Structures are given as structure tokens and as C-alpha cells.
Structure 1
Amino acid sequence: MRNAPSYLAATLAAAAFAVVPQAQASDVSGPGISFELGVAGKMTPRYFGASNLVLSPVPLFRLKRLELPNGFSIGDGSDEGFSLSPSIDVIGERSVKHSPELVGLTAIDTAVELGIAAKYQTANFRVMGAVRRGFGGHEGFRGELGADVIYKANEQLTFHGGPRLNFGDSKFANTYFGVTASEASGLFPATNVGGGLISAGLEAGLRYQFDDYWAVEAGAGWSRLTGDAAKSPITAQGSKDQYTLSFGVLRRFDIGF
């Protein structure tokens, strides 16, 4: 597996299926929380700029509704309208052990990113964005913007697809695309990378809703590294084109306070 933190998080998400069901609330009105919890297998580049893919478990969490006893609320339980939710991502370690083409570069520890995501959705369209701060492997900020056209084939099957933009500040960009003076060699000249737009691409996916609680999702994406990230000598060892594939299972929980 790609890294221990994502494996542990995925295991906890899967274990929750057996622990939380008894806390379901049949009435989702009033104070309470509604959310989806699940786990996915995701194929991603081994490191930013790599051409080979690795499979990693990824935890899934989506907040549908939160209403506190004092009246504060986020979301209404449905997918439509404006919503806020936590945004979490895990970036696996990068080392010569797994990527010998990067010989001479210092290993980068696993990074955990924590932040917030926002989305506005109608029946056939949505826009979304997220911003996260890294801990561990990098201590910069990373964000995404995207938009989707949504097509509902029937009550159970929904398709979506649209553009994606990925951003990072200079700390993030230099961690994964820069080369320090101490690392510099004939293969990897010293490189300083500026922040900004890291990549742009497209993503498409589908969701099949079995019933009110269970669903499966699948997706595929392509992005093209841009600017300094595309010119990095690290990217030169792999590819400017980055691909992803994923398949996940989710369960909805409604818990009253």
C-alpha cells in the first residue's frame, strides 16, 4: 500500500459501518448530523510528476447536514444548494526506495492535508472548491477548483464531468517539484519553483445509489502539469500528464442530537 496513514484511515472508515448503524435517526429534521462515510481504492501517480500509478486506500467523508440545538445549520441533507464540509487528503511518501529514478533527492515523508471544501449544486450543475494546509511531508497550502455538468439517467444512476484546476503555494511546489542546492546533480540541477496553478485537467465519474443509505462511485481523471511544475527536472523523469482512477463504497448515516 502507498502509505500507512491512508491505510489506517480507510480501515477506520470501513469499521464504522459496523459500529454506527444503530445511531441512525429515521427523522432527519431537527438537531442532528447527516453524512456519508466510505472507503475507496484510488490509482494515482506514485509522486507528483510520475508516470507510473499506485493503488492506495482513501477514506471518504461527506457532510450532508449539520444542525445544532442553538439553530446553527449547514446544508439541508440533500446534494443541492450550498454546502461546506471538511477536506482531507493524504500524500504518500516519496523516496528513492520506491522511485530509483529520483536518486540523489531527499525523501519526503507522508503529508496529511486538512482544510475546508465548499460546493454549490443545482439539479444539473455544480461548482466546488477546496483549500488545505499540509502537515508532515509539506507545510504549504494546496487548493482545487472545479465544475461539473450532472446527468441523472434515472433515480439510481448519475453521471458527472467537468474541468479541474489545481493550485499550490511556493512551499508546496518547492517540496514536490523543486531541487535544493544540496540535492543538485547533473540529472537534477538546482531548481526553485513558484506557486500558482500546478495543473489543469478534466474529471468524470458516476454514482449508483442502491437505496437510501448505500452507494458506489467510480471516477477517472486527467490533468496536465503547467508552469514551473511542468518544467521541473523531477517531472522530466516521469510525465506532465497525470491520470487517476477510483472506485468507492459509501454509506449514509443520519444521527439526531
Structure 2
Amino acid sequence: MKKILGIALLAAACAAQAQTSQTVQLVPYPYLPKDVNFSLGAVALYMPKYTGSNERRLAAYPMFDAQWKNGAFFSAVNGLGYNFSKDPSLQYGLRLSLEAARDESRSSKLRGLGDVNTAIETGAFVNYNIDQNYSLASSIRYGSGVDHNGLQISFGGRATTALNSQNRLSASLTANWANTAYMQSYFGVTPSQSAISGYAQYTPSSGISDIKLGATWHWNIDGNWSLITGASVSRLSGDAGKSPFIFQKTPVTIFSAATYRF
């Protein structure tokens, strides 16, 4: 079953490069207007070629989001999962998410490090909505990395304010912890990789891999169309930031998305 659901998620999210969010962002059950709430659109991103790169690339992906009142959700942002709670202040459940691939061919600075393929992660999440403007989020995800034994745990908070009936702003702060297997896959250099790439051998330990600050402007153009624009800046910390092929410890991503609600 996991394999079937994972293939569906990979296909829908353009598996070669797409990545779901570290934490889950769901509309609380009482505020869902329909039994099935669906939107479709596209997002453009200006982002580093890989985490820690000082080179940038422009990418575009389809956006989709489906959330059912029974608790199920399927989203390019949230992944595929189920929220077991009907309490508007508490959300908890299980999900499948994606960790994006890192292709060696994307940058000359990755030469000799090999590819890290897109991974399907199994995990769980817990969110607590303090009120309509403030919320806390956490997640655990397992299955990323070269040997698919990478583990990540994320904690964060979000603040939202409405400017008027059509516009709102939000800010978020998230910290991500990763185990040794994940850190080695994405930031380490093995002896064989060192011999080919020229980078010194590097074996990072588990710890906080990054802290991310984000800001988003959400404009409801009308009852169906929305425009979402924002940016995020991460700070690679601990052993992740000390990796020999990390050239930018504070990578910035800028994005803009247009969606249509059915």
C-alpha cells in the first residue's frame, strides 16, 4: 500500500525535484466549506541549485491541494495523509512526504558526490492552533537519504494577520533536526567521494541541520483565484554548515504561486 500511495504522490508532485513542506498546514475542520476542498495551480521558485549552493536556478512546478472533511489530505505542500482530529485547535495524524533529489549534474560543485534520489518518507505530525492567528507545528519523517534511513524532526510556529478581507500576511519559524544517516547523505563526504571530488572526507553528526524563517503574502483575488508570494531564508547550522561543499550558509528561496479553488 505504501508503494502504491508513494508512486501516486511522486507522479503528482513531479518526483524528480519536488519536495513537500517540513510541517503540515491544514485548514481546521470547522472552517472547511465543503466535504471536498480542491485547488489547482502552479508555482515558480528562484532557489539555490542545491542546499548550501551559491548558484541559483529558476524552477516551476504544478500546485494542487485536496482536503476532505473526513480528515484525508493530498497536497504538493503537505503530502498524502490523514488528520485524525476534529478539534479545531489540535491536529494530529500520519502522512507520506517527499524529500527532493540532489542530482550530481545540477552543479559542477557536486561532481564526484553522486546522486541522492528522491525519497518517500513515512511520518507523523502534530499541530496546535493557539487561535486563528497563531499556531505551533511539529513533524517526524523517516526514509530519506542514500540508504533511506534518514530521520528528520521539525518544530515550528506561524503567525498570521489579516490586512483586509482579501489579503493576509504570515510569518513562520522552523527548526529541523536530522540523524547521522541524513546528515551523511546530504552533507557528508565518504572516502570514495573524496577521491573523485577533491573534497576532504567529512563525517557529520546528528543535530540541528537548519533553522528557517519564512514570510508569505496571500491575496484572495476573488472567490476562486488566489495569488501567494513569499520568501524563506534558512541558516545551515551545526555540522551541516561545516560541510566542505556548503558555500552559502544562509540560502534564500523566493516563490510565487497562483491557484484556483474548485
Do they fold alike, i.e. is TM over 0.5? yes
Which has the greater radius of gyration?
Answer: 1
**1:93 and 2:102 correspond:** yes
Tell me which residue corresponds to 1:166: 176
TM-score normalised to structure 1 length? 0.72
- What aligned pairs does 1:1-257 form with structure 2 within 5 A after superposition? 8-10=11-13, 32-34=35-37, 36=39, 38-54=41-57, 55-57=59-61, 59-61=63-65, 63=67, 65-66=69-70, 74-75=85-86, 81-84=89-92, 86=95, 88-95=97-104, 97-121=105-129, 122-134=131-143, 137=146, 139=148, 140-185=150-195, 187-235=198-246, 238-252=247-261
Distance 1:117 1:53, change over 3 A: farther
Is the 1:9–1:59 contact (alpha carbons within 8 Å) kept by the matching residues of 2? no
Whether the 8 Å CA contact 2:121–2:142 is kept in 1: the answer is: yes
Cα distance change on mapping 1:198 and 1:136 into 2, 3 Å: closer
Give me the CA root mean square deviation: 3.3
Deviation per residue, 1:158-181 (Å, 9 max, x gap): 101132212222111100101111
Distance 1:92 1:64 in 2: 29
Closer/same/farther in 2, CA of residues 28 and 207 from structure 1, 3 Å limit: closer
Partner of 1:18: none
| Cα displacement (A) at 1:240 | 0.9
Counterpart Cα distance in 2 of 1:123 and 1:221: 22
The residue aligned with 2:75 is none
SS at 2:194 equivalent: coil
For 2:172, the aligned partner's letter is G
The runs of 5 or more residues in structure 1 that have no matched partner are 13-26
Q: How many residues align?
A: 224
> CA offsets per residue over residues 61-105 of structure 1, 9 Å max, x none?
36363269xxx96447xxx5323464633413320x221123332
Letter matched to residue 101 of structure 2: G
Contact kept? 1:64, 1:75, Cα under 8 Å = no
Q: If the length of structure 2 is used for normalisation, what is the TM-score?
A: 0.71
Deviation of the 1:154 alpha carbon:
1.0
- Kept in 1, the 8 Å contact 2:44–2:257? The answer is yes
> Any conservation in 2 of the 1:91–1:110 contact (CA below 8 Å)?
yes
State how far apart, in whole Å, the 2-side matches of 1:239 and 1:192 are: 19
Q: Distance in 1 between matches of 2:141 and 2:189?
A: 23
Report which structure shows greater RCO (CA 8 Å, sep ≥6): 1
